Structures are given as structure tokens and as C-alpha cells.
Structure 1
Amino acid sequence: MKNQLSLYWKCQLTGWSLAALYWGYIGITGGRFNIALGIFQFVTDVAVYSLITHLYRNFALRHHWTDLEINPLLKRLIPAVFVLGLVYVVVTLAKIFLFRLWFTVGPQQDFFPFIRLNGVTIFIAGVRLMSIWLLAYHLYHYAQREVKSTKEKARQEIITRDARLSNLSAQLNPHLLFNSLNTIKALVLDEPETARHAIDLLSDLLRTGLYTGDDVLISVKDELELVIYYLDLEKLRFEERLTYQLDLDDSLASVQVLRLSIQTLVENALKHGISTRKAGGLVRIKISKEGEFIRIMVQNPGCLDSRIPVTGVGLANLAERLQLKFNGKASLRLVNEPEAVVSAIVQIPIS
């Protein structure tokens, strides 16, 4: 494989080549111009001035100047510019002297009057060129450092967010299991046959998705399978007090939603709706599409008290998981509907 020039050397050679071409243009428009001498000057200009700035680069890297913040860096750059300007003057004057010595035919002009006449101008030009080079070099490194810092910060935020999301999800498995075991406990003495059936349902519940993995997202179809097992289990406890209805747009069956999101809404509906009413009622699950969002609505009988905030493992947990996973694009809200019905509505962007 052919070795390719680094970005640094591409910029070095391009920058000094443009400067040397500009000086060649000045020479051409100034009168007498020797093409061979002009080419030789171009090559030496690029080589010599690239060497000067490259030596500075090595010095800056050795002393970690590229890692400095703006204020301490400026304190070093100001004297560095003048030092490099002096080096530029010395090298440029030496180059001019040698070129005159090697290529001038006939009597030569006294060199010292030339230095007195042009030395300050060359020094100012050197300071200007070195200032441009130093600013470009250090601004590039500063920008690269900021980009790296931003990426690292974003990576740490993602790691922290994922850790919080995993912790929140981990809270829900034992929570659901304990609720299911309480249901079975309530049936063991009075209805042992029903309790055995409940244990079978709990086994299906565990097998279906409760401890099958740590995936944050799950398809609507798989999530609903878990929910149905849970509702059938709870129906053994509530008997005729609990009925449920599922309304699903089939095109949304494969859409990914938060694991245990629908389950959390259903659990909340039973806890704050069905269990608080002597007559029980209907739990309705409706999943539809609204624009670029999937809309999950779980309804239960009851009346929402807006003075009581959403707290605890259930809805508060779900709200935080939605915020973390979808960066504020998903939402959870509770709504009082007519005829004493409460709707818990989740909207999740469809990826």
C-alpha cells in the first residue's frame, strides 16, 4: 500500500506552496525573472519554511502546548511568534545572500545596505506569516480537543443513561412477580385448583418475557402476550369483576416499544381502577398509530385526582424510562374521560 501524506503535511506543503507562488508572482510582475532560478527559489522556500514550522511543531508537542487552554497558550504564542519571526528573517536573508552569491554575474550589490533597507519589512512579513501558521495550527488542535471532549461527554451521558435505564427496568421484574405471587397466595387456601392454574399462568408469564433477557425494547406482539398472561392471572383473583378488551392495529404488531410499558399501564389500571371498585369494570387496551407515533391507551373505570402526583415504581418509573430512551420525544399522560373513565396514554416515536 502506498503511504499517504498526513493532513498535517498536506496543509504544510499547500500553505507554503501558495506563499511561494505568490512570491514568484511578485517576481514575475517586478521585471526580470529567471524561470530556473524561480523554480529553485520555490522549492527552497517550501522546504526551508516547512522545516522551520515543523521544528516548532515538534517543540510544541514535546512541551504539550497543544493541550493548553486559550489563556496560557496565548502567553506562549506571543513570544513564539517573535522568535519565529527572527528565525524567518535570518533564514530569508541568508537565502537571499546565497542566491546572489551563486547566481549573480558581475559586480554584486553590497548586502548590508540591503539588510538595513529591507530587514524590518522582512521581519514584519515573517511575524505575519508565522502568526497565521501558529493560529491555524493551534486552532485546529483546540477544535479537535473540543470535538473529542464533546464526544467523550456524550459517550459518558449515554453510559449513564443506559445504566439508569437498566436499573429502572430491573425494578419491574420483581415488582410484577410479587404482585403475581400475592394473587396466588390469595387463592391457595380457598381455591387450591384455581391456585394451581394460577401457578401455570405465572410459569407462562415468566417464560414469555419476564426473565428472557435484558432488551430495553420489545415488539408490541411480545409485550401483549405477556400482558394477556398477566390479565388471565389477575382474572382468577377478580373473577367477574375484571373484563378486558384488546384493540390492536395489526400493522403495529412488530413495532418496538419499551419492555413492560403496556404491562405497567395495565397493572396501574387494575390497582387504581378495578381493585378500588366493588363492581370492578372493563380494562380496555387500544394500540393505534398517530402520525409518526404509536399510541398506547389503557382505560379503566375511575376518576383521576390531579392533586396526587404520579409516584412509585409504576408510572413514575415508566415516565422516566420513556424520557431516557427517547430523549423527550415520547410522552406519558393521564386523562379523565367522560363517564368516569381514566385513560393512561403513551406515545412513542416509530423508528
Structure 2
Amino acid sequence: MGTDYVALIKLYAETPLKNRLSLYWKCQLAGWSLAALYWGYTGISGGRFNVAVGILQFVTDVAVYSLITHLYRNFARRHHWTDLEINPLLKRIIPAAFVLGFIYLVVTAAKILLFQVWFDTGPQLNGYQFIQLNGVTLFMAGIRLMSIWLLAYHLYHYAQREVKSTRENARLEIMTRDARLSNLSTQLNPHLLFNSLNTIKALVVDEPDSARRAIDLLSDLLRTGLYAGDDVLISVKEELGLVRDYLELEKLRFEERLTYQIDMDDTLASVRILRLSIQTLVENALKHGIATTKAGGLVHIQISRQEEFIQIRIQNPGRLDARIPVSGLGLANLAERLQLTFTDKASLNVTNEPEGIVSATLRIPNA
């Protein structure tokens, strides 16, 4: 026990002073030291100056006024004044400034009178005479000094509380965003699975060989991408692997009515994009384009770099009816995930192109 105590004292002694003092005490000592130095300077410039008395004045000024403000600090913390908003706080610190100013007057007057008696530093005045001559000046000086201290102390705590509140709000916002993204991504998994099962169902009676191949492709979908993980972002290469399996699966159903082409800048293979983003647009192209067009047609996927953005464009035959908004689960889900992940830096547009082509264009920042 004794050895541990000695070791603790030794460790404390070896710790640099700057690491022992809190920011509060550093500010206390620095602030009152500057004030005491200023008072010492006025004493020197005033003519008669005793070095020993000046040093003692400096030490006692820093010690006594630090003690007064520290006692106020303990009182304010005990009554939770540092947690108050501006208006109720002002109703408390304005009277506090007057109370502290009065305490400053009493302590300063007592200290000066004692020093006059001990060191014969001026005319010997009794307390009443000294207060008559200097009371108002000292009281106003005390109010001014204590008001500065009070404002600095409470503004610091107010700023710290605001920073903490901002951090907490940001953390909660991120947690909420991540939870919503996870829920949205999870929502798409059964959606894609049910569509794939419907394709298999359509093939199983009339084309059992194609149905078996469709089951193999669905197995690949499940293994390679659909339930691969909860990552919000995956590489373009991984996303296209899922899309190719899905397109091959759907081609078994549409046969010659569906052809597809993928054009991509090879340097973009490792770029990370929203999981199931291309897949959602391709699924929308088949549902609202190929499936509704008797002759079918080409689904064209283009992935390119456009300045600071990655542009993904899906084109398919069809006609977008402006009177009927395209707001199915897939596109609404994708739009919300884009907003949550990239805020206003990403965009999704579905437009009519010449010659009966519908184009869905997704632009995301190239991080």
C-alpha cells in the first residue's frame, strides 16, 4: 500500500505541469495573471514601487480572485447554470456580477488596507475612510472584471454545449440514415427474388430445360449478389455480375424479344456505386419497356465518366407517359437511397428519347 502511494506521488511529480492543469485552471491563472501584471505596471508607472510588495500583490491577486471565481463556478455547476439557455442564464449572471463585484470590493479593500499597515505603503486610512475614497471605483472595477469573467465562462460552456448537441444530432442522423439505407436495401432483395421466381414459374411447365437453367441462374443471383452482404456500396464490376445473371434469366422468358448490350469504360470497374442501382434500372426497363412492347428490343447499358460524375444510362424501347408517373417500388427506393447517400450531389432522370426510346440516367459523384 505504501509503495503504491509513493509510486503515485512519484508519477505525479514526473508529470509535466501542463498535463496536470485543466483548461479551466490554465485560463484562470492566465487571465488573473495578466490582470495582476497590468495592475503591477500601473503601480510601477505611478512612481513609488516596492518590488517585494509588488510580487506579493501579484501572488495574492491571482490566488484570491481565482478563489472567488472558482467558488462561483462550483455554485453555478451545483445549480446547473451551465445547462441554461441564454435568457434564463442572463437573469442569473447579471445579479451575480453585482454580488461578485461587491465581494471584489470587500476583498480588495481588506487586502490594500492590510498591505498599508504591514508595509507602510501609503497614508494610514481606516476602513470607513478608504471606502469613502475608493469604494465606488473598486466596486465598478469589480463589476467590470467579474462580468468579463462570467461572460467568458458561460459563453465557453454554451459553445461547448452547442458543439456537443451538433455532434449528437449528426451522430443520430448518420445512424438513422444507415438504418434507412439498410432497410431499403433489404426491401429490394425479396422484390428481385419474387420477380425471378415468377420467371421460373412461367417456364416450368412449357420449357422445363429453360426452367432448370433459370433455377441455376437464380442460385447464382442469390450467391453472388442478392444476399452477399449489407454493404451500401459495391463495385461496378460486382453490380454488373448481378445484372448479367438477371438479364440472362429474363432472356429465358422473353427469348428473342430481349437483347442487351453493356458498354463500360474498363477503368470504372472498381468504382463503388449503390448496390442494386443498375439492377433496379434494368428491371424497370424490362417491366415498362420490353414487357409492354410486342417486338421487344434492346436494353442498352452505358457506364461512363462525365467530369466529376459517373453516369449510368439505361435505354430501352417504349414511351414514357408523362400523365402516369413512374413511381414503383424500385425507382422510388433508388431515389431515396441516392438522397440518403449522396444528398443533392446525385440525380436520377427518366426521359423520352427520339425513335421511341426511354432513357434512365443516373449520375453519382466520382469519389
Report the TM-score, using the length of structure 1 for normalisation: 0.98
1:93 counterpart = 2:109: yes
Partner secondary structure for residue 315 of structure 1: helix
CA RMSD in angstroms, aligned pairs only: 1.3
Counterpart mapping for 1:1-351 below 5 A: 1-2=15-16, 3-104=19-120, 108-351=124-367
After superposition, the Cα gap between the structure-2 partners of 1:56 and 1:191, relative to the gap in structure 1 and judged at 3 Å, is same
Contact persistence 1:171–1:313 (CA under 8 A): no
Report deviation, 1:328.
Answer: 1.6
- Structure 2 unaligned runs (5+)? 1-14
* Contact 2:115–2:121 (Cα < 8 Å) also in 1: no
| More displaced stretch, 265-274 vs 5-14 | 5-14
For structure 1, which runs of at least 5 residues remain unmatched after alignment? none
Over 3 Å counting, the alpha-carbon distance change for 1:185 and 1:349 in structure 2 is same
Report deviation, 1:4: 2.8
Q: Tell me the CA shift for residue 24 of structure 1.
A: 0.8
Q: Distance in 2 between matches of 1:106 and 1:305?
A: 98
**Residue deviations 1:27-76, cap 9 Å, x none?**
11111111121111111101110000000001100111101111211111
What CA deviation, in whole Å up to 9, does each residue of 1:305-351 have, x standing for no partner? 12222312111110111001111211100121111111100001111
**One-letter code aligned to 1:322:** L
Relative distance call for 1:105 and 1:173 in structure 2 (3 A) is closer
Q: Percent identity?
A: 78
**For residue 137 of structure 1, what is the amino acid of its counterpart?**
Y
* Alpha-carbon distance in structure 2 between the residues aligned to 1:85 and 1:131: 9
Amino acid at match of 1:326: F
State the distance in 2 between where 1:93 and 1:106 align: 13
Contact 1:284 1:300 (C-alpha < 8 Å) held by counterparts: yes
Shift in CA distance, 222/105, structure 1 to aligned 2, threshold 3 Å: closer
Post-superposition Cα deviations, 1:149-206, rounded to whole Å, max 9, x if no partner, equal 1111111111111111111111100000000000000000001111001100111111
CA contact (8 A) 1:294 1:349 kept: yes
Contact 1:247-1:287 within 8 A present in 2 as well = yes
SS in 2 for 1:328: helix
* Distance across 1 between alignment mates of 2:94 and 2:352: 68
Once the two structures are TM-superposed, the CA of residue 87 in structure 1 deviates from its matched residue by 0.6
- Give the TM-score, by structure 2 length: 0.93
> Quick one: distance in 1 between partners of 2:121 and 2:346?
83
